[in-house]
Amino acid sequence: MDIENLIKDTFTAHEPDAPDSDQVLAATRQRLDRRRAVVSPPLAAGAGVALLALAAVAVVALNRPADDTRVATGSGQTSGPAAVAAPPKPAIAELRMPYSLGWLPPGKAGYLARRINIGGSAADPEKPVYGGEYMLTVTSGRQVLLVDVQEMRMVPVERAVFKSGPGRPVTLAGRAGVESSHSGGPGGYEVYLTHPEGGSLYVNVAAQPGSTASAQELTDAGRRVAENVTFPGTTTVTPAYGLGKLPDGQRMCSFDVEEGGPGGPGGPRTSYSVGTCSTLPPIHVRTDESGQVRGTAGRPVQGHATRYLDEKGYHTLWILKAVHDAPIAVAGSGTQAELYAVADHLVLPR
């Protein structure tokens, strides 16, 4: 099945719906609402300014061999080739977002950053079908704002759909768009701006249920967020673990990195989708806090015990205590050997 056509058909079928419908994002919002701690440095927000401009680095870590095969002995001498040092463990690579946020409302921010590249090819691996999204919960005193910024590359500005009522033309930072005229409604402030590479950039700022913000506050914040988005992006996020060199024909199709989770105090919950990125089904890799590890003991992966479960053709391989004390689940309808091939190439914390 061609994933690009599948997603396009899905967008067409749901044109009347908001781009981030509650059905799709409710689970994520619930997790973010429970994690309103200070965001880690790559996405810090303070004094009204979030400088999300770290140097971009490669998505996939390189496994560099040791430069010198000799190792020091207890006598201070070096031994010959018989005492070869093990190659250093590759570092967990940063993940690059396609655009950057230059401003956020003042406060403490919890975030989820995601990027989906399904539809790309070897000749054009960055070809976007969905693109990138930031979902943030910004807390200042008793006020909690929900900020959503996402690429809507298949939705031109003239097809903008709002949750809170009709829109009106607007120009922000030289980019034409349409904004909601009912920012005090249930959807808060919404704006679609012309994306420099086609389609739209969507920005939504709303008060979390139970919190309050005036329509003018939401409008001012939403416009300022939108005005300070920069293309191309230099923002990177740090996952709890990485992907190394994957088996032939497979690559990273998407990632989600969320502040909080099993990567240590305030560490990032991390998930990936791995496959050809043009056909279903992918293999899903995620840090697992569910406590639902089941199955029989499998062969160790990178020194970690494993559990393997086959549920009517859907297979899950748990790598125990892979991220501090949390397991990583590698799951999909592929064979057991395919799951192990992915697991063997994960880049785990040192």
- C-alpha 229, offset from chain centre: 17
pLDDT at 263: 52
pLDDT at 154: 83
- Residue holding tokens 């044109």? 15
pLDDT at 131: 81
pLDDT at 4 over 60: no
Helix (H) or strand (E) holding 22: helix 22-33
Domains of the chain by residue range: 3-55+94-230, 239-347
pLDDT at 157 over 60: yes
3-state helix, strand, coil in the chain (%, to 5): 15, 35, 50
Per cent of the chain over pLDDT 90 is 49
Contact predicate 154/202, CB 8 Å: no
> What is the distance between the alpha carbons of residues 146 and 264, in angstroms, rounded to a whole number?
25
Rounded to an integer, the average pLDDT of 2-22 is 40
List, for residues 25-54, the tens digit of each pLDDT value. 444 444 444 443 333 333 333 323 232 322
Give the three-class secondary structure for 295.
coil
Contact predicate 163/18, CB 8 Å: yes
List, for residues 263-321, the tens digit of each pLDDT value. 554 458 999 999 888 777 789 999 987 778 999 999 999 999 999 999 989 999 999 99
The residue among 239 and 1 whose pLDDT is bigger is 239
pLDDT at 202 over 90: yes
pLDDT at 325: 86
pLDDT at 107 over 80: yes
Q: Return the closest-CA partner of residue 287 out of 249, 325, 315.
A: 325
DSSP notation for 175-191: EEEEEES-TTSTT-EEE
pLDDT at 288: 83
Rounded to an integer, the average pLDDT of 163-182 is 91
Per mean pLDDT, which range of 75-84, 119-128, 246-255 is the poorest?
Answer: 75-84
Rounded to an integer, the average pLDDT of 243-266 is 77
Per cent of the chain over pLDDT 70 is 68
Rounded to an integer, the average pLDDT of 117-145 is 75
The residue among 88 and 133 whose pLDDT is bigger is 133
The CATH fold assigned to 239-347 is Phosphorylase Kinase; domain 1 (3.30.200)
What's the Cα-to-Cα distance from 59 to each of 97, 234, 306, rounded to whole Å? 10, 13, 26
Rounded to an integer, the average pLDDT of 45-66 is 26
